[in-house]
């Protein structure tokens, strides 16, 4: 029982330290900036600027907005855009599928930005996200028949609020994101600590060690990979930061794996996205096939660049 309680306390301490001294300052500042840009209409203008290029791959203008939301705000940010597309019959199933596939291949800001503090190359991460997302959108577009549509990005008027209140609103949202992530942080770190204590991670590490060594990645890096696909991106981010700070994982390991593990394709993320509506659920199969191809492309970019 003492060991069990000790694992709980150690996990809680690590989670609180991560939340207060790494996640909180980064998310408050980033959310303050991005909320202000969104409310003042700058993100919409950027979406309009990129929509002609993305349109070549079947992604509508509003899809460009969803891409920016996940890259610059959080994995949950595109849900509002997805909801609009799901409820508006003017958007075709092909447009929904291409937007869905492109978005879920992207790195989510709520995991990527905190990882900058421990060495993540955010420039390469964003570039690989765009390349992988475009590949996924193009592939899923081949599965679904093209239809005509005349939608444009949302033209709602920019907020008339002053700059300071908008920054404060965004900062508050950042605090809320960190607050909501605390249970996931504590549970995921506890889960990993239990696996370590039972030597399960050592067994898995020994199995994958030859493969990882072949491509120049530390075998202990299997821990954030397992965490990612069991508990989600936020949990993976917490575990990766904790391991790098303890010297168990290197910046090179993180950057080489980033193309595979920084994305919302996990049980938690997919359940959230599929709750948007039936039209998104209908295109799930081709979207997953296309997104896997996009993720492989992202992963290869990171492996080659940081090898």
Tell me the pLDDT tens digit for each residue of 74-129.
887 788 788 878 887 888 899 899 999 999 999 999 899 999 999 999 999 999 99
Dihedral angle of Cα 174, 179, 185, 187, to the nearest 10 degrees: -160
pLDDT at 296: 95
State mean pLDDT over 290-307.
94
Matching residue, tokens 């993305």: 54
pLDDT band at 133 (very low <50, low <70, confident <90, very high): very high
pLDDT at 196: 77
Is the pLDDT at 258 greater than 60? The verdict is: yes
pLDDT at 116: 94
pLDDT at 96: 92
Dihedral of CA 253/255/259/264: which sign? positive
* Model confidence pLDDT, tens digit, residues 259-269: 999 999 987 77
pLDDT at 87: 82
Q: Which of 204, 202, 200 is nearest to 191 (CA)?
A: 200
pTM: predicted TM-score of the whole model, two decimal places: 0.76
Hey, how many other C-beta atoms are within 10 angstroms of the C-beta on 2? 6
State mean pLDDT over 274-298.
92
**CA 301 – CA 253 distance, rounded (Å):** 14
Lowest mean pLDDT among 43-57, 84-98, 129-143, 285-299: 43-57
Hey, how many other C-beta atoms are within 10 angstroms of the C-beta on 115? 25
State mean pLDDT over 22-43.
78
State mean pLDDT over 211-228.
81
pLDDT at 157: 65
* Model confidence pLDDT, tens digit, residues 185-211: 787 778 778 887 888 877 877 787 787
pLDDT at 162: 84
Q: What are phi and psi of 233, to 5 degrees?
A: -65, -40
pLDDT > 90: what percent of the chain?
28
Is the pLDDT at 224 greater than 80? The verdict is: yes
Q: Which of 40, 28, 44, 32 is nearest to 162 (CA)?
A: 40
pLDDT at 122: 95
Q: What are phi and psi of 146, to 5 degrees?
A: -75, 140
- Buried b / exposed e along 9-26 (16+ C-beta atoms within 10 A): eebeebbeebbeebbbeb
pLDDT at 154: 52
**CA 88 – CA 83 distance, rounded (Å):** 9
Is the pLDDT at 61 greater than 70? The verdict is: yes
């Amino acid at each position: 029982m003492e060991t069990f309680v000790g694992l709980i306390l150690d996990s809680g301490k690590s989670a609180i330290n991560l939340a207060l001294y790494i996640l909180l300052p980064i998310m408050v500042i980033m959310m303050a900036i991005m909320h202000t840009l969104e409310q003042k209409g700058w993100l919409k203008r950027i979406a309009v600027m990129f929509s002609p290029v993305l349109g070549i791959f079947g992604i509508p203008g509003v899809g460009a907005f969803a891409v920016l939301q996940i890259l610059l705000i959080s994995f949950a940010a595109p849900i509002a855009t997805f909801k609009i597309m799901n409820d508006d019959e003017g958007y075709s199933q092909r447009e929904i599928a291409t937007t869905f596939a492109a978005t879920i291949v992207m790195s989510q800001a709520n995991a990527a930005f905190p990882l900058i503090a421990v060495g993540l190359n955010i420039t390469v991460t964003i570039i690989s996200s765009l390349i992988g997302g475009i590949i996924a959108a193009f592939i899923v577009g081949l599965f679904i028949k093209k239809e005509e549509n005349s939608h444009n990005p949302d033209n709602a008027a920019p907020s008339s609020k002053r700059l300071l209140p908008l920054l404060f609103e965004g900062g508050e949202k950042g605090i809320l994101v960190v607050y909501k992530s605390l249970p996931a942080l504590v549970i995921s770190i506890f889960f990993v600590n239990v696996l370590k204590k039972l030597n399960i991670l050592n067994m898995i590490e020994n199995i994958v060690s030859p493969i990882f060594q072949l491509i120049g990645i530390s075998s202990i890096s299997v821990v954030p990979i397992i965490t990612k696909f069991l508990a989600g991106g936020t949990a993976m981010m917490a575990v990766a930061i904790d391991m790098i700070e303890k010297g168990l994982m290197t910046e090179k390991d993180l950057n080489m794996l980033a193309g595979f593990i920084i994305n919302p394709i996990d049980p938690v993320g997919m359940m959230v996205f599929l709750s948007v509506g039936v039209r998104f659920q209908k295109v799930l199969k081709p979207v997953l096939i296309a997104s896997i191809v996009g993720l492989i492309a992202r992963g290869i970019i990171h492996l080659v660049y940081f090898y």
